[in-house]
Structure 1
Amino acid sequence: MASTSRTPTRRGRGRGKGRGRGGRGDGSSSLPPPPSTLPLIIEEFFIVVYEDPLVKKALPKKFADYLDGQELAKVYLRAADCGPRLWTVEVLFDGQGRMYLDKGWENFAIAHGVDFGCFVHFKYEGDDVLTVKVFDGTMCRKYYYSDDDDTDDESDDDVKPCIHPL
């Protein structure tokens, strides 16, 4: 009987099933479509406060582009987990597609402790509303409490969520 000779093969090599590019080995790719073919959805972004926290703040150009040229006159900021209070902030556009938080930002920033080194996370909720979370320089989220009561009693019952506007 004649013996048949087999050349050894390695599994997962040569047919596109191992590591590396290709996918199925049949010429088609299992990679996702390139980013340019996906819809542009910018619902969340953040800014890092490197300069004076009280001056106007530039928002990412991609977010301004996402608004599809609406060039809003104002937005409403809501501190996350802080109830229904909305802070009205005027918006400026520089003519080159850049969007800035302007009048009203200073009051929001003071009330919520935005300072140098903070990360400010925004989530677009639609209807010109942005929910905001502020993280300090240690990357820990800031929470807000009001101490505007004139009582000296420091029980937990007196702590109210959220700082009231100045």
Structure 2
Amino acid sequence: MASTSRTRTGRGRGRGGRGGGSSSLPPPPSTLPLIIEEFFIVVYEDPLVKKALTKNFADYLDGQEPAKVYLRAADCGPRLWTVEVLFDGQGRMYLDKGWENFAIAHGVDFGCFVHFKYEGDDVLTVKVFDGTMCRKYYYSDDEDTDDESDDDVKPCIHPL
């Protein structure tokens, strides 16, 4: 009987009462929309060749199949890396031309975990974690100064 009070719609017994209406409980997982905003891949093979993204993310795009996506390294400003996307007809999505440059510039290597967050408008924010599960951060010297103090570094690697 307790389970029927949880699935019932309408008014419950009010605050603090037993057997409140369904408004206090989240809907069952099968009724929630599929929202894939964040996912990761593990680099098991050559980090510079095209990379398969999760099938769930490709499914989330629901047939919109963009020709390219824009990668932004997290916390590295507005720089977007254009990466062409391939679909294999089996529902798999791959990062292709442009991925190699992004991977080199951000130190993607064997054993890395690459975290993606979909921002909409074909933009993915990316964080790279090494094999010890520590996030990689990148810096390049300011080309206008010869001083190598910490105050003179800019976050993020410039594109190669």
Quickly name the TM-score band, shorter chain normalised. Answer: 0.7 to 0.9
- Could you say what the CA RMSD is over the residues aligned between the two structures, in angstroms? 8.1
Offset at 1:65? 0.7
Offset at 1:114? 0.4
Question: Which stretch shows the higher mean deviation, 106-115 or 20-29?
Answer: 20-29
Q: Which has the higher helix share?
A: 2
**Equivalent in the alignment of 1:2:** 2
Query: 2:10 and 2:148 mapped to 1: Cα distance?
Result: 67
**Structure 1 residues 26, 149: closer, same or farther in 2, change over 3 A?**
closer
**Partner SS, residue 71 of structure 2:** strand
Which whole-Å deviations, capped at 9, do the CAs of 1:87-130 have from their partners, x for residues lacking one? 00000000011000000000000000000111100000000000
Q: From the CA coordinates, give the structure whose radius of gyration is larger.
A: 1
**Structure 1 residues 70, 153: closer, same or farther in 2, change over 3 A?**
same
Aligned residues: 160
Show structure 2 runs of 5+ residues with no match. Answer: none
Offset at 1:33? 4.1
TM-score (norm 1): 0.79
**Structure 1 residues 4, 41: closer, same or farther in 2, change over 3 A?**
closer
Offset at 1:148? 6.5
**Structure 1 residues 157, 98: closer, same or farther in 2, change over 3 A?**
same
Are the aligned partners of 2:83 and 2:99 in contact in 1 as well (CA < 8 Å)? yes
Offset at 1:37? 1.4
TM-score (norm 2): 0.81
**Structure 1 residues 149, 22: closer, same or farther in 2, change over 3 A?**
same
**Structure 1 residues 58, 155: closer, same or farther in 2, change over 3 A?**
same
Identity score, percent: 96
Show structure 1 runs of 5+ residues with no match. Answer: none
**Equivalent residue in structure 1 for 2:94, among 100, 104, 109:** 100
